[in-house]
Amino acid sequence: MRGLRQASNSPDGRGLVSLYQLQKFLYALNRDEASKRRCRDNIHELLNDFDLSDEERTALIEGDIGLLYVLGVNGQILMHFAAFLGIEWFDYLELMRQGIRKHGPVRAGVYAMTGGGERFTAEERAR
């Protein structure tokens, strides 16, 4: 696991190991009623069970969908967190777009952007 940490280009140097913990938190929240209750009652206590960066903790506490997306959270996991927060589908999609505008290209994970975050399709370039 340490090798993954060092191989990352994330600003805090935590990279893939931290992304795994972030997604593990969200997966638990999506699947486990006890985790949902703990999150509603005291998210800070629940977050202590995971090895997260300060940026990740803040994004979760604030429900910052855009930043979570930019950090590399898989959309299939993230959409359930958005629903947990009461965010509608089209608002969720827009929050991810806003996250890229505010925080820059997706940094890690399956959606990581290359080329400085430029748009890659004709439809995207037309926007």
List pLDDT tens digits, range 67-76: 999 999 999 9
Q: What is the pLDDT of residues 77-127, one digit of tens each?
A: 999 999 999 999 999 999 999 999 999 999 888 878 665 555 555 555 566
**Nearest to residue 64, comparing CAs of 29, 107, 102?**
102
Q: What is the pLDDT of residues 10-60, one digit of tens each?
A: 444 545 568 999 999 999 999 999 999 999 999 999 999 999 999 999 999
Angle at 82 between CA 74 and CA 60, to 5 degrees: 75
Six token digits for residue 72: 């590399």
Determine the pLDDT at residue 118.
Answer: 58
SS3 of the chain: helix, strand, coil, percent, to 5:
70, 0, 30
What confidence tier does 63 reach under pLDDT thresholds 50, 70, 90? Answer: very high
What is the set of domains in the chain, with CATH numbers? 2-126 (1.10.700.10)
